Amino acid sequence: MICDIFNKLCEHRVVSILRGVPSETLEPVLDALCKGGVYAVEITMNTDHGLDMIERAKKHVGGRMMIGAGTVLDAQTARLCILAGADFLLSPVLAPDMIALCNQYDKLAVPGIFTPTEALQARRLGALMIKVFPVGSVGPQYIRDLLGPLGQLSLMPVGGVTLENAADFFKAGAAAIGVGSCLVSGALAAKHDFDEITRRAKAFQEAAGPRA
C-alpha cells in the first residue's frame, strides 16, 4: 500500500499545502483544487482544527484526492493523523519515529531533509519520498546536485516553490512539489476566491507537465 500511495503522489505531482486556511472554507477549497487538476493536498498540523479537517477532507473528496498531514514532528502526532484518515504524512524535519510509525501502519512518510547525509539517512529509514526543505534559498539546481550522487532518491522540494520555478524543479528531477500560499493562502480562501484557486491549480499542473 505504501508503494501505491507513493506512485499516486508521483502521478499527481503537485501537492497543495493548506496552512492557515479557515476551516469553514475547506470543502470549496478542495473542490476548487480538483477543478484545477490538483488531486493531492497537505493539511498542516499547525492549522486550527487540522485533524478535523483531515477527517472532513477524506469524507468530501477521499475518492478523488490524496489527503496528507503536514508539520508532523513526532510519532504521537503521526498516529493521530493516520487515525483521522491521512494517506501520507510530511515533516519539515527528519523524524525517525514518525517514519517508523508510518511504515508500521502502511502509510507514506515524507520526512524533511536539507543535506545529502540526511537524505540518505531518510531513505535508509524507509522513506520512499523525501521532502527537501526549505528550497527557496538554493533553488532547482540543488535538487539536480543532490540527485547527481543520489539518483535513487525521489525528492519533493518544498518551501519556496512558485509558479515561476515549478517547471525548473521538475526539469531538475523532482518527483513532486509541495506548494503553499502561491497556490492556496488563508487570505485567498477567506475571501472565497475559489475561482482564483482553480486558476492557480491549472497553472501549476501545466508547469508540472506529464509524468516522465
Tell me which residues are annotated as active site: 42, 131
Cβ(65)–Cβ(57) below 8 Å: yes
The residue among 94, 145, 163 whose CA lies nearest residue 124 is: 94
The half-sphere exposure of 106 on its side-chain side, counting CA atoms within 13 A, is 3
> What is the Cα–Cα distance from 200 to 188, expressed in whole angstroms?
11
> Which regions of the chain does DSSP assign to beta strands (E)?
14-18, 40-44, 66-70, 88-90, 108-110, 112-113, 129-132, 154-157, 177-179
What does DSSP assign to residue 165?
T
Q: What is the DSSP string of 102-143?
A: HHHTT-EEE-EE-SHHHHHHHHHTT-SEEEE---TTT-HHHH
- The string over 177-210, giving b where at least 16 C-beta atoms fall within 10 Å of a residue's C-beta and e elsewhere, is bbbbebbbbeebbeeeebebbbebbebbbebbee
> What is the Cα–Cα distance from 78 to 83, expressed in whole angstroms?
9
